[in-house]
Amino acid sequence: MLKWIIVGIALLLTAIAMVPIAVTYIEKQQARDNAEKLAHAKNVNQSEAKTAVIVFSRSGNTAVLAQHIAQQWQADFYRLEASDYELGLKGWTNAMQDARSIRTEISPRQIDLSAYNTIYLGSPIWLYSPAPPIWAFVENNNFQGKHVVFFNTFNSKFEQTYIDQFKQLLLDKGAISFEHRHVKRGRMGQQISTEVMLEIYDNYPSKNVNNKIE
Ligand SMILES: Cc1cc2nc3c(=O)[nH]c(=O)nc-3n(C[C@H](O)[C@H](O)[C@H](O)COP(=O)(O)O)c2cc1C
């Protein structure tokens, strides 16, 4: 009997250990596919742009959506980097540990937003909350007089209370409007394609964000 309990526990522990390995394997595959779609998405700064799209994205899905939005609005495009959360097991473990934190090292820490009327901010959801790098970006920057559209990609669930806290932080930093858009990609193994993700986003009613006060 004891023998079977030990075997059972060993199998359970092996299964638990396989989860992060499988997840990080799939993430790397996605990141490779997304990197091709993002090949021409360098940080772009056009002197005339009144809209900026600023995104943190670990495995590239939110970045592909960000690129799409930037093309729609001929916006400047910035991708934030966070070395603690690079692809692989170490970055994934750090991401799980820090998921509810709102402080972390990012690069760039600050962007001069003075030329822009509207800022699109993008992030994945980690443990039901926007990922730490996008909180850190808001914390480090001035949103006085800006219209903000916050967009997320996620697999299955986020908690509205974290979105409300994020909105409050932006209002405290001077933002004058806030809109939230989100695309659910589905659980790993049964996720929607990039094309469908962009289509869902595009089906948000088109509004003149600059006139919208929430
Ligand atoms: C550490 C971690 C935690 C996550 N937690 C959630 C979660 O709570 N809810 C959810 O729906 N998706 C969760 N996800 C999935 C991501 O939000 C989803 O795959 C997202 O589209 C990834 O975006 P990216 O490719 O731009 O990094 C999590 C992913 C990671 C790495």
- Domain range enclosing 191: 2-202
DSSP, collapsed to helix, strand or coil, labels residue 107 as strand
Substitution site in 79, 87, 126 for ligand 1 pocket (most atoms within 8 Å of beta carbon)? 126
Per-residue pLDDT of the chain (214 residues; tens, 9 = 90+): 888 999 899 889 888 888 889 999 999 999 999 999 997 666 666 778 999 999 999 999 999 999 999 999 999 999 999 999 999 999 999 999 999 999 999 999 999 999 999 999 999 999 999 999 999 999 999 999 999 999 999 999 999 999 999 999 999 999 999 999 999 999 988 999 999 999 999 999 765 554 443 4
* Distance, CA of 63 to CA of 166 (rounded, Å): 19
Q: Does 213 reside within a domain? A: no
Encoded tokens for 207: 């509004």
pTM of the shown model:
0.91
Alpha-carbon distance of 184 to 158, in angstroms, equals 10
Would 210 be classed as within a structural domain?
A: no
- pLDDT tens figures, 140-177: 999 999 999 999 999 999 999 999 999 999 999 999 99
Closest residue to atom 6 of ligand 1, CA basis: 126
In a domain, 124, yes or no: yes
| Residue 150 CA neighbour count, 13 Å, CB half | 27
Distance 145 CA to ligand 1 centre (A): 30
CATH number of the domain where residue 28 is located:
3.40.50.360
In a domain, 135, yes or no: yes
Q: Which residues pair with 51 in a beta bridge?
A: 118
- Which has the closest alpha carbon to 68: 120, 109, 146, 137? 120
Tally of domains in the chain: 1
Domain-embedded: residue 173:
yes
Ligand 1: distance of its center to the CA of 208 in Å?
Answer: 29
Tokens of 104: 């972390």
Residue 181 forms part of a structural domain: yes
Q: Which atom of ligand 1 is nearest the CA belonging to 122?
A: 26
Residue that is written with structure tokens 């088109």 in the block: 206
User: Is position 11 within any domain?
Assistant: yes
Q: Strand, coil or helix: what is 76? A: strand
